[in-house]
Amino acid sequence: MTDVVATNETILVVGGGISGMTAALEAAETGKQVVLLEKNPALGGRTAQLYRYFPKMCHPICGLEINLRRLKANPRVLVLTQAEVTGISGSAGDYTATVKLAPRYVNENCTACGACAEAVKTEVDNPFNYNLGKMKAAYIPSAMAYPQRYVLHPSIIGTPDAEAAKAACKYGAIDLEQKEESVEIKAGAVVWATGWQPYDAAKIQPYGYGRYKNVITSVEFERLADPHGPTGGKILRPSDGKEAKNVAFIQCAGSRDENHLRHCSRFCCMASLKQTHYVRENSPEDGKSTIYYIDIRAIDRFEDFYQKVRDDASVSFIKSKVARISEDDNGNPVCWGVNTEGYKRYSNAHDLVVLAVGMEPSVKGVAIPASIVADSSGFIEADPANGAIFGAGCATNALDVNRAVQSATAAALRAIQVVNKVARAEV
Amino acid sequence: MSANQEMAVRYKNNFLKEVEQQVEMGEWVKMCMQCGVCSGSCPTNFHPGWEHPPQEIFMMIRAGKREEVLSSPSMWMCTSCYNCIVRCPRKLPITHIMHGLAEYAYELGLAPKVQPTKNLSKLFWENATKTGRINELTFSLGMYFKDAEGKINIGQGIKKGLEMQKVALGLLKAKRLNLFEIFGGHKCKDQKGIHAMLAKAYALESKRKGRHVG
């Protein structure tokens, strides 16, 4: 049985991505007790799935490593993975959350040696790579995974594969008797940092995502560029494994659209500008990027990043939202539309089309087990009616990593004020 | 002063305002963000008559290109397929705006002289409002015996009629066409009431838009 010591002076952080980790650490480093919950088997969220950050083009594993070091050094944060909140009762300063803990089937003895993965034969979709590749059903979620422990996929439990994994483990780390459990956690304040999900591109019917193999999303493109990704960092197109040299980026795929997401997702322009770097690095001689856009929203400090991409001869910009995509005989996606600059019609074939999909809050349409005020896009509003449940990061707005961290720090400060009042350290 | 001159004076150089007040659904024009999805989705793609795509028409309205917009054949080319409305990210009722612009241009006498859609619409409206029911026989005859400029052309009518002979016989057989319709055909009971209703609606609409009842 998992033992959780928590009081109404504890801060509960829901979601272990960059925002949740930040909120948890900021609060813990001021001396507060924090419980950090993560639904997946490892921390890091979608940030860990990026190849590089803009604008400095550094690797997310670097930023994550700093946070993981802070986390390991801090005894005040209790991390629970594979944990989901199913209910919250109480009010500000006195909440009780019911948390469901899914079994990992691997205990603390695990040394991440990988013997179980070698013994297991079943392969399952790899969600870390947005299902672009397969992985063994005994797996470590990613190279940077924290906790650095293997997981058994629930689909093999009760099969000979699970027994094989158990037999292969030299450390007695595999425990097939683990069961799902439910724990109650007390908290004075809750930080809700459940992040975002890429908008379902298949809903944008004229773009043919799901029908045409060489139409992919921007998050999938991140995985293609990443050396830890399914193609070892080579940008190979899904249909025939050919190197994609002529890549199109379609902005506002789902965003700023009353039929899809009403809001501007803010990060997608910068993400595509960043991804033109990947194309050039992959094919320095003949790599070509084309950005189809309504207007480029490289917000505030990012204007110079945009200008540099503008000056790059391998990148062209077409001011037009693509109306539809078809596929030619060679499997090349063809973009159709009318260029707003001159109102000329075009139909351009590319090797690969990347849809810069919008950001949808994970809380949208999901019954948050507490009463929360959300805006018309489903993002959590900063509303007094929420009591001491504070949104952080992409649960509150369409944000890039930098802004998500700012938002998380703000949420941590609000939560700290509540538990200080509970402790009568503040009035 | 013609209706056209009167409106030009009333709205001076503010064509956008004129469209907002005079054209059906014209108040939506300012919502266009020039993304181009409507133009790219239009099935009249590359048709030579489709001079300005909807997105360009909206920009021309904002730029005050009054004569160019109202005398353009473009909005008359709309086939009402509604692709643009379905895909518009701002939910502009583009099809309706195209029809609204065409109606307004016609009202001001600026619509192109030779325009098949205009001729068809006019013929249909006159046919349908006469008795309250559309008379298929006189309507198709009207189509055959009028040339592109709307003038009677007997030779063309006979030629077209013969071309369509097979279809007509099929329709007769299926009782979809009745030759006795030539004597007036089926009609609504209260024709006077319908005419009065349409006149009243026209007067109300003209008053609302500040137009003179012509």
Contacts of A257 in chain B (CB under 8 A): 89
B36, A257: Cβ pair inside 8 Å? no
Q: Report DSSP state, residue B213.
A: P
User: Is the per-residue pLDDT at A1 higher than 60?
Assistant: no
- The pLDDT value recorded for residue A427 is 66
Give A196 to chain B, closest Cα distance, Å.
Answer: 22
Closest approach of B90 to chain A, Cα-based (Å): 6
What is the C-alpha separation between A173 and B143, in angstroms, rounded? 86
Give the model confidence (pLDDT) of A71-117 as tens digits: 999 999 999 999 999 999 999 999 999 999 999 999 999 999 999 99
> Average pLDDT in the A322-344 region?
95
More confident residue, B179 or A358: A358
Q: What are the pLDDT digits (tens) for B15-34?
A: 999 999 999 999 999 999 99
Q: Quick one: B65 exposed, middle or buried, by C-beta within 10 A (0-12, 13-18, 19+)?
A: middle
Q: Minimal Cα–Cα distance from A339 to chain B, Å?
A: 7
| Rounded-to-integer distance, Cα A67 and Cα B45, Å | 54
- Asked if A252 lies within 8 A of B36 by C-beta distance, the reply is no
Residue A406 clears pLDDT 70, i.e. is over it: yes
Which residues in chain A are closer than 8 Å to B39, comparing Cβ atoms? 323, 337-338, 343, 345
Cα–chain-centroid distance for residue B89? 26
Cross-chain Cβ contact A258/B91 below 8 Å: yes
All structural domains of chain B, each given as residue ranges with its CATH number in brackets, are 3-112 (1.10.1060), 116-202 (no CATH)
pLDDT (tens digit per residue) in A184-203: 999 999 999 999 999 999 99
Query: Would A10-102+180-195+362-422 and A200-358 be classified into the same CATH topology?
Result: yes
Tens digits of residue pLDDT in B122-175? 999 999 999 999 998 899 888 888 887 778 889 988 998 899 899 989 999 998
Cα A97 to chain centroid distance, Å, stands at: 24
Interface test with B, best of A199, A252, A291, A321 (most B CBs within 10 A): A321
Band of the pLDDT at B201, cuts 50, 70, 90? very high
pTM of the predicted model, to two decimals? 0.91
Structure confidence at residue B213 (pLDDT): 57
**pLDDT for res B152:** 86
> Which of A252, A338, A339, A344 is the best substitution to test chain B (most B C-beta atoms within 10 A)?
A338
The answer for residues whose C-beta is within 8 angstroms of residue A91's C-beta and 6 or more apart is A387, A388
Average pLDDT of A162-181?
96
* Residue bearing the bigger pLDDT, A218 or B44: A218
Tens of pLDDT, residues B79-130? 999 999 999 999 999 999 999 999 999 999 999 998 889 989 999 999 999 9
pLDDT of B191? 93
Which fold does the domain A200-358 belong to in CATH? Answer: FAD/NAD(P)-binding domain (3.50.50)
When CB atoms are compared, the residue of B33, B37, B91 closest to A323 is B37
Residue B45 reports pLDDT greater than 80: no
Residues 6+ apart with CB under 8 A from B90: A258, B31, B32, B33
> Where do the domains of chain A lie?
10-102+180-195+362-422, 115-168, 200-358
Kindly state the percentage of chain A with pLDDT values over 70.
98
Give contacts of A260 with chain B, Cβ < 8 Å.
89
Options 1.10.4160.10, 3.90.25.10, 3.50.50.60, 3.10.20.600; CATH for A10-102+180-195+362-422 is 3.50.50.60
Per the CB < 8 Å rule, is B46 touching A345?
A: yes
Q: Note the pLDDT tens digit of each residue in A364-390.
A: 766 676 778 999 999 999 999 999 999
- Mean pLDDT, chain A, rounded, equals 94
> Pick from A258, A259, A343: which is nearest to B56 by CB?
A343
- Tens-digit pLDDT profile for residues A14-68: 999 999 999 999 999 999 999 999 999 999 999 999 999 999 999 988 888 999 9
Among chain B residues, the shortest Cα distance to A296 is held by B35
Contact A321, A311 (CB under 8 A): no
Please name the residues in contact with A90: beta carbons below 8 A apart, sequence gap of 6 or more. A96
CA distances, B167 to each of B139, B159, B180 (Å): 15, 14, 18
Cis bond upstream, residue A55 (ω within 30): yes
